[in-house]
Chain A
């Protein structure tokens, strides 16, 4: 059974570049003036991976180590994004919110609508930072043909991969691959590695669709935790009538006494 799966996977991997090439020919992936693949635009995913990442995982399975499963069972049971924490990598890539990609010489910038998060990805092959962790990690990119490859380390252990409590340790290492295969499509693929949590590296893949709505602009989606522990997400697209901040009371209405 497993054997056939690997054979099938191997065939898919063999065929994948040819398939990509066909799609690209249909609509020629654009290039920047510097000749790099042009990933710029506003992109969206159409999946529910932020609820359960196994949806986009190869074989819909996450190869847990038994000890990690045990750790997970004993760990926190509330999704950290409920407390307005950044979603981490790779989760930020499949949050159901738009992302706008900007490219400059030596830099690719991901501006996420969700939490107004920003990821700066230098493509100068610098080494990863030392002695510091971030929710969104330290991203360093390089170009491989039509693909932006982003190597992400320095991730903390506080973020989850989804709301289904799939967790990881601070040894998480993610390699993301962004391939623009047509005017309105980026193929996204990531390899997820964490020797403290998974028995082997595993892969997720999905499509990012370009937002072609005329006049669509990125806005500020925000989350702050109120004193009562409830997260507040002020409306930012379809605003109700009246004072839209009226019901947003993040701190006491009047003095402390």
Chain B
């Protein structure tokens, strides 16, 4: 427990360091790795505006963090099929079903709402997340997604288009969720992420989501990531089961759904 608390403190410290940095931020020539890839290494601090609570516009609050008038979904709404819109309402009323509350890890893009480190090799780019010690290896060798594999973090294959890392994510399971507000997807989810290096301290993240089982159309999410100060190190964060009373715990949050603007 204390390690999680410290991890949060460290993340906050990172956030402060980043805001101090960006005050002096200036565009400089982009670096290259020894094998000629654009250099994307570092600890990155997303500016996802409370997306962990809801990817859509939402009110602020003690538990919810800051208000977000825009959310991270382009257009501020998700194109659910009618049955899926009903399911979102149900999930919002049953927060005990939130898989992150059961120590499952977040999936894409949920894992990217918290600080993470990118380590680059000629064959793959490793995304190492402090939260839940989630890990994603983005292979660059052009091989197809494996068959018969389903994972919380899916399977990622990437390539560079100029200064943009394009990552194709498939093999997602149908258990990970976009946020705590009940926004969900099926195992047909296919994500194409674009990490555009704007300057050495900034990534513009844009991802296109397709899931014909749940949504009527593809949609996009966008947010920015800022590089943390170099001396930062990330620590161990862990979560394991044993919580048998989540249902009653979240009863206290029964009115939480009122904080999500209905769409």
Number of interface residues of A (CB under 8 A): 46
Find out whether the CB atom of A225 lies under 8 angstroms from the CB atom of B148: no
Residues of A25-60 whose CB lies within 8 A of B = 33
- The answer, among B2, B90, B128, B137, for a CB contact under 8 Å with A217, is B137
Given A132-B6, A225-B241, A226-B241: A111 in contact with B93 (beta carbons within 8 A): no
Q: Is the CB of B242 within 8 A of A135?
A: no
Q: Which residue of B lies closest to A231 (CB)?
A: B241
**Residue tally, chain B, CB below 8 Å to A:** 47
Q: A104 CB to closest chain B CB, in angstroms?
A: 6
Q: Which residue of chain A has the shortest Cβ distance to B143 in the bound complex? A: A215
B121 interface contact, C-beta 8 A: yes
CA distance A117 to B240 in the complex (A): 13
- B3: contacting residue among A133, A220, A252, CB under 8 A: A133
Let me know if A23 is at the binding interface, CB within 8 A: no
Q: Do A245 and B34 have beta carbons less than 8 Å apart?
A: no
CB of B159 within 8 Å of the partner chain: no
Interface residue? A206 (CB, 8 A): no
Residues in B whose Cβ lies below 8 Å from that of A71: none
Interface centre among B97, B121, B143 (most CB of A within 10 A): B97
Which residues of B, 159-201, contact A by the 8 Å Cβ criterion?
173-175, 187
- Chain B residues contacting A132 (CB-CB under 8 Å) are 2-3, 6, 235
Give the residue name and chain of the A residue nearest to B128 (CB). Answer: A118
Q: Which of A104, A224, A244 makes the CB contact (< 8 A) with B103?
A: A224
Question: Which residues in chain A, 95-127, are within 8 Å of chain B measured between CB atoms?
Answer: 102, 104, 109, 111, 115-118, 120, 122
- Residues in B with CB closer than 8 Å to A227 are 102, 244, 246
**With a CB–CB cut-off of 8 A, which chain B residues contact A118?**
128, 133, 135
> Which of B153, B238, B241 is most buried by chain A, counting CB atoms within 10 A of its CB?
B241
Q: Do B96 and A256 touch across chains, with their CB atoms under 8 A apart? A: yes
A218 located at the interface, meaning its Cβ lies under 8 Å from any Cβ of chain B in the complex: yes
Considering the complex of A and B, which 5 residue pairs feature the smallest CB-CB distances, nearest first? A225-B241, A239-B148, A134-B236, A84-B240, A116-B135
A residues at B contact (CB < 8 Å): 33, 83-86, 102, 104, 109, 111, 115-118, 120, 122, 129, 132-136, 215, 217-220, 222-227, 229, 231, 234, 236, 239, 243-245, 248, 250-252, 255-256
